[in-house]
Chains A and B, each alone.
Chain A
Amino acid sequence: MPTLPPAPPTPGASPPEPLVDILIPTLNEVSHIAQTVANARQVGDVYVLDSLSTDGTQELARRAGAVVVEHRFENYSKQKNWALDNMPFKGQWIFILDADERITPALRDEVLRVARAGGGVDGYFVNRVVIFMGREIRHGGLYPSWNLRFFKRGRCRYEDRAVHEHMVCDGPTDFLRHEMLHIRRETISEYITKHNKYADMESDEWVKSKLGRGGAARGQALFPHLQGFRQWLRREAWPRAPMRPVLRFVYMYVARLGVLDGRAGLHLALLQASYEYMISLMYRDKLLALKVGGAAR
């Protein structure tokens, strides 16, 4: 891999050649993008990969000083890997930032320091704090949240998976000390609309796995490496657990100390419990409809 240039001694002075490039994947992010780009430009050159937004995201991003490239979205990992392969990056390091995230000044300084120092680490996990309901959410299982976002160009890629994508690196990885912000601006209405949609999809999954699972598959799932065990927990055990909404609430609010986040902690746990409840109801309803053969009448 390319040898790193000697670190410029004075922090704050703009480095002679780009050290860190920021990649921001977008789809219809007008409400965020100008601020995100301005925030990211403090770290390095900004590249926006847009999945054909229709709301003027590209225009705003360009005006804020980003290089904008558009590419049709297939799934998250493919989209970002395409960017890593095809966008005209110049820096030795890449930082991937979502449009609703911001880099804090402390994180910016740390990123630049690490990039200058070089070293044997290929990728860094970055911690992220959610800001929602007017508050930093520090408990309830939402924090800490580590994601590999900062890495040497060419040394890390996304695994080719449709959902729950994650990065793999050639060499060793490490953790950064400072965190970024994840801004959740959505209204409660938007939150419910989104989770209603998720509950509909999730309950479909449960119906599918209830109907289409033979003993063999379940046995295989029962003999785990960790992956198999998790799968079993998620697909088999959790859907069957009684009082799931209550369990979810107790887990978030009590076991993971959501109570320490004040009112926001309470409502996040309650909303998550309602979400579990919506899944259960839809699941029961869909099974029933199948049994009766269409709607009960």
Chain B
Amino acid sequence: MTDQAATTPPVGSAAATPPVGRQVPSVLILTKDEEDNIGPCLECFGFTDDVVVLDSFSDDRTLEVARRFPNVRVVQRAFDTEYKQRNYGFEEVRYKHPWVYVCDADERVPEDLREELIRVVNDPAPGHGAYRLRYRNYFMGKWIKRSSGYPVWLIRLVRPELVRYEVRATNVHPIVQGTVGSLEKHFNHYSFNTGLKRWFEKHNFYSQREALEAVATRRQGIGGTGHLFSRDPMIRRRAIKNLSFFLKMRALWRFLYHVVLRLAFLDGSAGLHYCAMISMYEYWIELKVLEQEKQWRDRTEAVVERRLVEPGGAAPLAPPAPSPAAPPAETVAAPAAGGAS
């Protein structure tokens, strides 16, 4: 596929001690600038001798931390798209063991899941190419079950040769040859571990992207709602999303949806805070749509221009002097063309 791999040490650098006579899974972790997360994440995998960290050239100390673990091998590859990076991890990396557990740096494997993983790889059901499992999303030290849309099932324990990722719309989707089993236990997901500042930064960026999309959609008008009843769930989702761009007070609706329909308050204050943060993000989208559609910045310039016009009517020091019959200042509506006048 891609051949941008920098270092690909093949199998096994240092062996930890796997339990004698039992199979263990190999582990694949994708990273980019995860120096705070990677240590605690790797501590979960003392039970296996084969952990691969597939790193997108981190700028921080991620690799330094990772290399302290004797059972870790580091592979580096420049990140292009998520699905290509993930497929690389299955196609180009050789593992010691037939089953691979796929994990992100902000996830932790608790003891009960570890035991289940070992049990399953020692006695996999025939025909299974992968297993899916659920996770617990943690915020402010609490599992926010209702507010985070639990349960979401993810395919994470795989036979690498039987699984490939594909892109559908914007979501990365694993395609499995063979059947998919289900694990009973959960992993834990700490998506806020790197601090709220980073979360807000990301959502500032996402809301910009959404707003651009919303403005384009709104320009096309509300037509084409026929897709709302499409057979294809992806197209249906898309149509619902497009329709939502015409909604006023998105933030409020989003909040009510979580609290009233999904009973987010049962998660306690952490859940409510999470819903409020998501709603704030929706508010940012709406605000950025307004900013563009109402041309706030151009209008700001126009207001300034109007305030700087001489009381007599003539612009103060404007290089192109206005015609003797100066137009009334109020007619300034066009975007300011650069220079102040």
Contact = CB atoms under 8 A, between A and B. Distances in A.
Interface string A253-297: 000000000010001001100100110011011001000101111
A188 B287 contact: yes
B239 to A, nearest CB: 27
Interface residues of A, number: 46
Contacts of B192: 285
Q: How large is the interface on B (under 10, 10 to 19, 20 to 34, 35 or more residues)?
A: 35 or more
A82 interface: no
Nearest to B303: A131
Contact of B300 (A105, A131, A197): A131
Q: What is the predominant secondary structure among interface residues of chain A facing chain B?
A: helix
Given A105-B308, A274-B283, A292 B141 contact: yes
A39 interface: yes
B340 A39 contact: yes
B204 A187 contact: no
Contacts of A277: 276, 280
A247 interface: no
B277 interface: yes
A105, A196, A281, most chain B CB atoms within 10 A: A281
A131 B308 CA distance: 13
B267 interface: no
Interface string B254-279: 00000000000000000001001100
Given A34-B339, A188-B287, A296-B190, A134 B195 contact: no
Given A42-B316, A134-B303, A288 B140 contact: yes
B294 A134 contact: yes
A133 B300 contact: yes
- The 9 nearest A-B residue pairs measured at CB: A134-B299, A35-B340, A295-B193, A134-B296, A192-B204, A133-B296, A196-B200, A296-B141, A200-B197
20 contacts: A35-B339, A39-B308, A41-B317, A105-B308, A132-B300, A134-B296, A134-B300, A134-B303, A135-B300, A135-B303, A181-B304, A183-B304, A192-B284, A263-B294, A282-B196, A285-B140, A295-B37, A296-B138, A296-B141, A296-B193
